[in-house]
A and B are shown apart, each in its own frame.
Chain A
Amino acid sequence: GNSVTQMEGPVTLSEEAFLTINCTYTATGYPSLFWYVQYPGEGLQLLLKATKADDKGSNKGFEATYRKETTSFHLEKGSVQVSDSAVYFCALVPNTDKLIFGTGTRLQVFP
Chain B
Amino acid sequence: DTEVTQTPKHLVMGMTNKKSLKCEQHMGHRAMYWYKQKAKKPPELMFVYSYEKLSINESVPSRFSPECPNSSLLNLHLHALQPEDSALYLCASSHPGEGAYTGELFFGEGSRLTVL
Contacts and interface: CB of A to CB of B under 8 A. Distances in A.
Interface of A: 32, 34, 41-46, 49, 89, 91-93, 95-99, 101-104
Contact of B102 (A43, A93, A104): A93
A44 B101 contact: no
Contacts of A92: 103
Contacts of A41: 109
Contact of A93 (B56, B101, B109, B110): B101
A26 B111 CA distance: 32
B101 A97 contact: yes
Contact of B43 (A34, A46, A95, A101): A101
Given A43-B90, A49-B103, A91-B103, 19 more contacts: A32-B102, A42-B109, A43-B2, A44-B43, A44-B92, A44-B105, A46-B106, A49-B104, A93-B103, A96-B99, A97-B99, A97-B101, A98-B48, A98-B99, A99-B103, A101-B43, A103-B42, A104-B40, A104-B41
Contact of A99 (B4, B105, B106, B110): B105
Contacts, number: 55
A97 B103 CA distance: 9
Interface of B: 2, 4, 40-43, 45, 48, 56, 90, 92, 98-110
Contacts of B108: 43
17 contacts: A32-B103, A41-B109, A43-B2, A43-B92, A44-B43, A46-B106, A49-B103, A49-B104, A89-B42, A92-B103, A93-B102, A93-B103, A98-B45, A98-B101, A101-B43, A104-B40, A104-B42
